[in-house]
Structure 1
Amino acid sequence: MTPTHLPGRVAIPSLPTVLDAFNAAPAKDARRLLLGCLRSPRWAERLTDHRPYPDVDALLAASDEAAYDLTPGDLAQALAEETLPVLPEGIYGAAHTALDAAHAAYEAKFGHVFVICLDDLPPDEALDRVLAGIRSRLANDPEEERVVAAEELRRLARGRLVSTLRGARNCATSHNGAAPGK
């Protein structure tokens, strides 16, 4: 049987996706992009080495797994590179004073900045969430806090990775290797 020619029908090849570009990128470029999401060379190397990913969900699952496997040294290195959470504009002076004092107490106790994932949180709730988080986590012992901070870093990396993939899709590629917020 001969195929029927249907006028006006043309096979359209699929367009490359952001994930396709990530999968095909040179290893050093992939690592640089990943280090903008989480400043852990081991995490970035692992995700780079396991390419190609069949879909974004597979990449995110690999990101989570690699973050869960960070050693205490890897975690300390990633935490050393983090910055304080970004809060919305217009926070009044007394709140900044309270926040600065809480951050100082946290850093004195645990030796690194306070990390918290604020994804999907309305901006007007960020200050309250950060202050409540610091206050409650100051009660943790160092080992408990290491576990909580590692989970927050995992969540931050996941959110940054999703944002990076979305940003690349929209041609917003101005990360120049720095972690978001730096």
Structure 2
Amino acid sequence: MAASEERTLPSPSPYPIAPPALAIPKQAQTDATGTMHAGLDHFNTAPADDARAFLLDCCASERWARRLVEHRPYPDLDALLAAADEASYDLTPAELHEALAAEQDEYPAPGDTPQSALTALRAAHAAYEAKFGHAFLLSLDAFHDDEHLDQVLASLRTRLAHDPDEERTVAAEQLRRLARERITDALYVLTYA
């Protein structure tokens, strides 16, 4: 690719919060193993407003995104993820509410999912949102695709029993995990696109 060509960072989530608008020159970095980190280099060298918009698609907290942008460049993905974790832990209740309010609680179900399971899933999501005032979040990265529906339903049942303060803590942890996954996925796409 010519140095003058530009690449756009993709949305890291199938449910984008804000459209990414990051167009920057492609430059490749490699680590000791020779792995390409073009995606991280794109993020590190992007205009601040574009990098902030990209991060808001991972977690819709303005202060979280601004903080990560201000601490660029990151030497590697681990450093960026550590900074994202630290910024997540520092969210105030209002900032957490801002980020949770932008989330969607749609989880894809396999095509052969019985209608009764889909009905139960929709009802549980509605009950969760009515009780807690925001979308249900669950990181499914540690589970196989065929386990997702069961994990979502089981977690919804368990978390509906939480009081609001307890659930705020759990939701904040799930948001932190999802932000890490979204950043990693988006940078991976950029690296190998």
- The Cα shift of 1:18 comes to 2.0
Structure with larger RCO (C-alpha < 8 A, sep 6+): 1
Shift of 1:85: 3.8
1:141 and 2:171 equivalent? no
What amino acid does structure 2 have at the position aligned with 1:101? A
What is the number of equivalent residue pairs in this alignment? Answer: 158
Percent of residue pairs bearing the same amino acid type: 58
User: TM-score, normalized by length of structure 2?
Assistant: 0.78
Query: Who is 2:54 aligned against?
Result: 33
Runs of 4+ in 1 over 4 A off after TM superposition: none
Selected match of 2:70 from 29, 49, 52? 49
1:152 aligned residue:
174
1:120 counterpart SS class: coil
TM-score (norm 1): 0.83
* Letter paired with 1:21: H
Residue correspondence of structure 1 range 31-180 to structure 2 within 5 A: 31-90=52-111, 91-171=113-193
Decide whether the 8 Å contact of 1:40 with 1:74 is kept in 2: yes
RMSD, aligned CA? 1.3
Q: Is the 8 A contact 1:75 1:150 kept in 2?
A: yes
Contact 1:31–1:45 at 8 Å: present in 2 too? yes
Query: Is the 1:85–1:115 Cα contact (8 Å) retained in structure 2?
Result: no
Unaligned stretches of 5+ residues in structure 1: 1-13, 172-182
Residues 133-163 of structure 1 deviation map (CA, whole Å, 9 limit, x = unaligned): 0110111110000000000000000000000
Q: Tell me which residue corresponds to 1:180.
A: none
Contact 1:85 1:116 in 2 (8 A): no
1:18 aligns with 2:43: no
Runs of 5+ unmatched residues, structure 2 = 1-26, 30-37
What amino acid maps onto 1:158 in structure 2? Answer: R
Larger Rg: 1
